[in-house]
Structure 1
Amino acid sequence: MTSTMTSAIASTGLTKRFGSATVVDGLDLAVPTGSVYGFLGPNGSGKTTTIRMLLGLVLPSSGTHQLLGHDFASSGAMSLERVGALVEGPAFHPYLSGRANLARLDAADRTASARTATARIGEALDRVGLAAAARKRYRAYSLGMRQRLGIAAALLRPRDLLVLDEPTNGLDPQGTREVRALIDELSRGGTTVFLSSHLLSEIEHLCTEVGVMSVGRLVWQGSMAELRGRQRPVVRVDTGQPEAAERVLAEHDVGDLRRSDGAVHGTAGAALQPERLVAALVAAGVGVRGFRVEAPSLEEQFVGLTGEGFDVSG
């Protein structure tokens, strides 16, 4: 099994079948301790089922996994004491206030001290920006406020691992920025964050590691830097002389040449030197109206791995 000395989450062959349908197929996760791990995948790829198995909400059909160094099958309860989670949206008592809902959850935690409950609940509410709405009934909360309360519930105790399923769902731009800042703060404090999100910008800005799911399988896993480096940059030359430009580009380690919208595009090779290429184009008499070298976007990388566009309902 993947070493648990450096993994907050490690799984081997984790599989879930519902009847004859295999929803998660042989998953080998390795989530480094202290990382912010982005979990991506289109609709129906098995992300939420995976999260539910990791937390013991659904039993796997086969395979094993560990949380925070503990084998889940034999000592899952021990590891869950150090795990906070928000899965598939929060659910609370509608006629209780936000503070009262957190108090009920906190009282159900056998390891939590009653003496510090008030202070911990107040701190959790403050961290997610709900201190002013603490006495308001949950049924009067907006979707974004409900999402914040769910995150507050996950933060009632210090956590070594935080599992968040679409944490910014329903939040306005300001709320989204605040949650991102909170995740960054938790990560810098040593908490490992496992983040499932449909927002590619969120994954790109927050995450240090990425796992990509497609049809129940983990098709790629590694650091964000490795993901960005999977594909070569694209060279674009805006010119009215595409044939001459193509000849020069081909001589300077640019391949897969194609034309569109008054420009020539190509894939940069490892030896490409943009400054020399521009000089060569000018020396060859090619009129260069524009030149740029662009790294493939995260969306392009995602499509390359899964063969489909990103679906926000995943």
Structure 2
Amino acid sequence: MSAVSAPATADSADRAELEAAVRSERLTKRFGKQTAVDSIDLLVPTGAVYGFLGPNGSGKTTTIRMLLGLVAATSGRPILLGSPMPEGARTALPRVGALVEGPAFHPYLSGRRNLARLDAADPYADPRTATRRVDAALDRVGLLAAATKRFRAYSLGMRQRLAIAGALLQPRELLVLDEPTNGLDPQGTREVRHLVADLAGDGATVLISSHLLSEVEQICSHVGVMHAGKLLTQGTITEVRNRTAPSVRVVTTDPDPAMMILKRLGIGELDAVPVRGDQHRQTITGLLGEVDPASIIPALADRVTVYGFTVESPSLEDMFVQLTGEGFDVSG
């Protein structure tokens, strides 16, 4: 059986790489003695909404800048829409819309005029349709009513929306959005979430970097996790979660014997905390590992009183903490 299945697996991997909208081969960037990105093999499938996840300073923006040809890699190779970068920039970049780091526009021009100047600088844009496309982009990000206001009068959130509009002036096969919800209020964040879903529904591949795990969980089909310049894991959301052990939660008035039983069953990293408002009950948590959940209640029932029992699938936060031993911003 193994002799038959191994080639199929290799063929599937090769096919995934050929069909990827974005990929890299041992991509590395060093600044002097500091390694900002350390030999990563990124793989963003065509049609995916890929959450490029990691705390600030983990190497996400540097990776994106190498993908777009804005900085040269120290070693390795980025490949964008099938074209090696930066030499393939003329082929790939007209099909890419990007927001990298903070938006920069002329402060004394209106939002509409800033986008018009940006569009005029695009040699692939049709000037006959510029007005219509500029207004459509402004409308899509909720700025049409503020189109005549000067950029200097825009709030941080409005500036971020204008930068996203700049990436939408032309139909794009790939959208690369670096921290697109930075500075947005909850309503603006929801609007960006819906916008990303609409873009993906129209057939675009979206690579969206973020340090907000809750946002990534809501909008992304795939995820890659960066930490200290390394790509720790990547895949579909389900695949990445399944690489982390689910947890078990038991509420009881007999924590000591319960923890002994759970430990004997093979449940790891056990911890107990009092239930808020009930001094007699405690909640015990631990990693399920390979233990069959159906075996837990019968083992506990002979010795302790159980008031609650749940098995919880790991969140992205759980996964990140297990991989690194650290946490980061999970708010949305």
TM-score normalised over the length of structure 2 = 0.87
- The alpha-carbon deviation at position 280 of structure 1 amounts to 5.0
1:307 maps to 2:321: no
1:116 maps to 2:129: yes
Report what 2:297 is aligned to: 278
Identity %: 61
Are the aligned partners of 1:252 and 1:272 in contact in 2 as well (CA < 8 Å)? no
Matched to 2:80, the amino acid is L
5+ long unaligned stretches in structure 1: none
Alignment partners' CA distance in 1, 2:137 and 2:50: 23
Report what 2:308 is aligned to: 290
1:56 maps to 2:73: no
Counterparts in 2 of 1:264 and 1:75: CA distance versus 1, 3 Å: closer
Are the aligned partners of 2:25 and 2:76 in contact in 1 as well (CA < 8 Å)? yes
1:68 maps to 2:87: no
Report what 2:285 is aligned to: 265
- The alpha-carbon deviation at position 109 of structure 1 amounts to 0.8
1:122-142 per-residue CA deviation (whole Å, 9 max, x = no partner) reads 110000000100111111101
- The alpha-carbon deviation at position 148 of structure 1 amounts to 0.3
Counterparts in 2 of 1:298 and 1:104: CA distance versus 1, 3 Å: same
Counterparts in 2 of 1:21 and 1:232: CA distance versus 1, 3 Å: closer
Matched to 2:205, the amino acid is T
1:185 maps to 2:198: yes
- The alpha-carbon deviation at position 20 of structure 1 amounts to 2.3
- Residue 95 of structure 1: which of 108, 121, 139 is its match? 108
Partner SS state of residue 142, structure 2? coil
Alignment partners' CA distance in 2, 1:222 and 1:100: 41
Counterparts in 2 of 1:251 and 1:217: CA distance versus 1, 3 Å: closer
Matched to 2:297, the amino acid is V
Q: Which runs of 4+ in 1 moved over 3 A?
A: 1-4, 246-260, 276-282
- The alpha-carbon deviation at position 195 of structure 1 amounts to 0.7
Counterparts in 2 of 1:71 and 1:4: CA distance versus 1, 3 Å: farther
Alignment partners' CA distance in 1, 2:37 and 2:256: 49
Alignment partners' CA distance in 2, 1:53 and 1:161: 15
Are the aligned partners of 2:267 and 2:291 in contact in 1 as well (CA < 8 Å)? no
Alignment partners' CA distance in 2, 1:263 and 1:107: 62
Matched to 1:114, the amino acid is P
- The alpha-carbon deviation at position 297 of structure 1 amounts to 2.5
Counterparts in 2 of 1:20 and 1:77: CA distance versus 1, 3 Å: same
Alignment partners' CA distance in 1, 2:99 and 2:86: 21
Partner SS state of residue 162, structure 1? strand
Report what 1:30 is aligned to: 43
Alignment partners' CA distance in 1, 2:261 and 2:55: 40
Report what 1:43 is aligned to: 56
1:149-208 per-residue CA deviation (whole Å, 9 max, x = no partner) reads 000000000011101011011111111101100001111211111111111111111111
- The alpha-carbon deviation at position 247 of structure 1 amounts to 5.3
Are the aligned partners of 1:125 and 1:134 in contact in 2 as well (CA < 8 Å)? yes
Matched to 2:70, the amino acid is L
Report what 1:83 is aligned to: 96
Counterparts in 2 of 1:191 and 1:256: CA distance versus 1, 3 Å: same
Partner SS state of residue 87, structure 2? helix
Alignment partners' CA distance in 1, 2:324 and 2:298: 38
Are the aligned partners of 2:138 and 2:162 in contact in 1 as well (CA < 8 Å)? yes
Partner SS state of residue 146, structure 1? helix
5+ long unaligned stretches in structure 2: 1-12, 275-281
Counterparts in 2 of 1:277 and 1:62: CA distance versus 1, 3 Å: closer
Counterparts in 2 of 1:148 and 1:18: CA distance versus 1, 3 Å: same
Alignment partners' CA distance in 2, 1:12 and 1:18: 19
- The alpha-carbon deviation at position 43 of structure 1 amounts to 3.0
Aligned CA RMSD, in angstroms, stands at: 2.1
Report what 1:147 is aligned to: 160
Matched to 2:167, the amino acid is A
Aligned length: 310
Are the aligned partners of 1:232 and 1:267 in contact in 2 as well (CA < 8 Å)? yes
Are the aligned partners of 2:141 and 2:161 in contact in 1 as well (CA < 8 Å)? yes
